[in-house]
A = this chain, B = another copy of it.
Amino acid sequence: MIPKVTAKDVAKLAGVSQSSVSRVYFEGASVSAKTKKKVLEAAEELGYRPNEFARSLITNRTKIIGLVMKGVQNPFYPQVLKQFTSEFKKIGYSILFVHTNNDEIQKDDIDILLNYHVAAVIITDATLSLSAMEEFKDNKIPVVLFNRKVVKSDFYSVCCNNLKASEAIGEFLIAEGCTKLAYIAGNANTSTSIERERGFTNIVEKHNVHLKKYSSDYTYEGGYNTAREIISKKQLPDGFFVANDIMALGVLDALRENQIAVPNDTKVVGFDNIEMASWPTYNLTTWEQPMDEMIAETMTYLINEIENYTGIAKNIEIDGKLIVRETTKKGVD
């Protein structure tokens, strides 16, 4: 085993003090070009690598972002994970991945984040309790809810503007000629499902169009089973707004199984614009979440908070756009 090399070893070889070695690796410290050169050469020769733990012990800060995620079946979330990891890597941060089974993150997950003194926390597809939020506040750890928001104003959240989006979807389906609509909800306690339902309902009621709502759970099976039930009960609408894409795919499959033609017999709109929505089998009309902007917004906020903690809470909502595909194009009879 190669003996572990420390700043002291480098200092000896470079003929400088250990403090100078430290300064070379500490951003913003003042070192002469000459010293820097000597140190870097010695470090290279010895294979020196500053110890992150000694560093964190003193500065009491890390370059670790805690990312908490529930859903991995919905391809939207792995994509979010990938993007955050790549973007944060560019600025020297790494991702501590935490998986939770609950809608609200639990004590053991919070302990992990606190034990590692993460610089910031991103929670996606889940929320957290007010008391958990307090714990992070006490430790001055900034937190962002990504794609979820909480009514309490103590949380900073970044979402797509779900209300506006679902209103636009309502207008669109009605303009396409739908007169009997259905909304299939995601998990009832999620802000996304609630707001999508509200926006859609607003518009549909305004136009006095018939609407029936069904509850489901944001999974493929949920969408599939709900649609089958609708079909078997002879409640088929002429237009569906399904609260996310993965459920919408289940709906499309159920319709296909029952020889119900889309978009001629009924139309379907999803939400997220996951990659599969564009697959030729599905060709799903959907709302594109502005993921890049949502991620950029999250990062800007977190980086500011890491440098200068304020703990301000705000709900950021970013518009997305409708992607029209084959599940809504007017049929040519």
Residues of A within 8 A of B (CB): 1-2, 4, 49-54, 56-57, 60, 62, 64, 67, 72-73, 75, 77-79, 81-82, 85-86, 89, 94-99, 101, 108, 111-112, 114-117, 138-140, 220, 224, 249-250, 252-254, 256-257, 275-276, 279-281
Contact = CB atoms under 8 A, between A and B. Distances in A.
Contacts of A85: 97-99
Given A1-B138, A97-B85, A115 B52 contact: yes
Given A52-B117, A86-B99, A94 B112 contact: yes
Contacts of A252: 281
A35 to B, nearest CB: 23
A72 B67 contact: no
Contact of A57 (B53, B73, B117): B53
A1 to B, nearest CB: 6
A58 to B, nearest CB: 9
Contact of A97 (B97, B139, B281): B97
A202 B229 CA distance: 48
6 contacts: A57-B57, A82-B99, A86-B101, A89-B112, A97-B97, A224-B280
A252 B99 CA distance: 33
Max chain B C-beta neighbours (<10 A), residue from A57, A97, A108: A97
B279 A220 contact: yes
Given A72-B78, A72-B82, A82-B99, A49 B140 contact: no
What 6 pairs between A and B have smallest CB-CB spacing? A97-B97, A72-B78, A78-B78, A85-B99, A53-B56, A53-B53
A280 B62 CA distance: 47
Given A54-B57, A96-B96, A279-B253, A114 B67 contact: no
A175 to B, nearest CB: 29
B99 A96 contact: no
